[in-house]
Structure 1
Amino acid sequence: MTAALTILIDAAQRAPEVARMVTEGLPPEAAHERPADRQNSIAWLIWHAARQQDVQVAELAGTAQVWDTGKWAERTGVDRDSRWMGFGESTEEVAAFRAGDIPALADYLDATVQATVDYVRTLSDEDLDEVIDHTWEPPVTRGTRLVSTIDDAAQHMGQAAYARSLVDADWKAPY
């Protein structure tokens, strides 16, 4: 495996670690609290981090979404089908988001990242350079899309950690 692929895998695997740290001991009501009543909740951030990566990597790989194959709507208690991933949601839609099982959201992110890792392991450096979307300037390569999904998940996990500190004053990140 090349250095580029190894780095992508390492980067992808970090988001679930943060999700587990953030959700450990998190009461369900705190998981759904929206800082200042307008920011994204921890539960929504973890769900969206997983959903956006799941949708985009499934499209790249030509596979079914982990959300569907793993029955994650049922397992997480989230009443949203695979057409939902969080992009462009209104404040009201984010406020209405509820998960019945917060640890299962972290499990779903972990399963999605595993699917991403499995997919990356099938690629070569040449595959990373392939242009997959000509609608952007510059055109988007497979590698760029993967970096984008990994970066999006990382940013949302950072937001989730910050939100945890806002809704739980006694919580301290271990870093």
Structure 2
Amino acid sequence: MTVATELLIDAFGRIQEVVREAVEGLSPDQLAFRADPAANSVAWLVWHLTRIQDDHVCDLADMPQAWTELGWRERFDLPFPAGATGYAHRPQQVAALGGSTAELLLGYYDDVHARTLAFLGGPGGHHLDRIVDTRWDPPVTAAVRLVSVVSDDLQHAGQAAFIRGLLDRRAQ
């Protein structure tokens, strides 16, 4: 395993820690809490970051997404197309995650995380220099795409943790 692969595995592990801390023990109402009508909820943020990771890693691995292959789309029962990741969602779409439970969100996240680690620990981790997108200058490698996912996921996990902090303060 290369140093780059080890760093990516560590980074995705850190995302998992923040996601778990943000979600565990919250009720569906707490997961759906929005600081104002246009704000995101913990549920939406975690669903979105998981969808992005699922979409991007599975694209790199050339395999079906956990969202569809493992039945998460049916379990969430959201009014979105199968390929929706939350990008450019409006407040009404954010509200659709209102019935989510911690178990549902973490179950999906854990499946995606396991697939990510399997990809990085397998052949995918040895081909991080592979060009995956030529629409950019310089072209995007698999490593750069994964760093982008880590960056996006950590930002959204941090936002979810912030909202969790607001909820914890309100409960005191």
Return the TM-score normalized by structure 2: 0.89
Q: Equivalent residue for 1:87?
A: 87
The amino acid that maps onto 1:160 is A
- Aligned-residue sequence identity (percent) comes to 37
Quote how far apart the aligned CAs of 1:171 are: 6.8
Query: Partner of 1:132: helix, strand, or coil?
Result: strand
Change beyond 3 A, Cα 1:85–1:113:
same
8 Å CA contact 1:20–1:103 kept in 2: the answer is no
- Look up the equivalent residue of 1:45 and give its one-letter code: L
Cα distance in 2, alignment partners of residues 141 and 71 from structure 1? 30
Distance 1:140 1:123, change over 3 A: same
SS of 2:127's equivalent in the other structure is: helix
Residue equivalent to 2:153: 153
**2:142 corresponds to:** 142
CA distance in 1, matches of 2:60, 2:124: 14
Preserved contact between residue 28 and residue 98 of structure 2 (Cα < 8 Å):
no
Look up the match of 2:43. 43
Comparing both structures, which one devotes a greater share of its residues to helix? 2
Amino acid at match of 1:3: V
Structure 2: any 5+ residue segments left out of the alignment?
none
Alpha-carbon shift at residue 79 of structure 1 (Å): 4.5
CA distance in 1, matches of 2:158, 2:23: 13
Q: Distance in 2 between matches of 1:55 and 1:134?
A: 18
Q: What TM-score, normalized by structure 1, do the two folds share?
A: 0.88
How much does 1:121 deviate? 1.5
Aligned to 2:12: 12
Residues in 2 aligned to 1:77 and 1:101: alpha-carbon distance in whole angstroms: 13
CA shift for structure 1 position 170: 5.2
Aligned to 2:61: 61
Partner residue in 1 for 2:117: 117
Q: Answer whether contact 2:61 2:124 (CA < 8 A) is retained.
A: no
Matches of 2:124 and 2:54 in 1, distance apart?
A: 21
Q: Which runs of 5+ in 1 are unaligned?
A: none
- Amino acid in the other structure paired with 2:116: T
Q: CA deviation at 1:10?
A: 1.0
Question: RMSD of the TM alignment (CA)?
Answer: 2.1
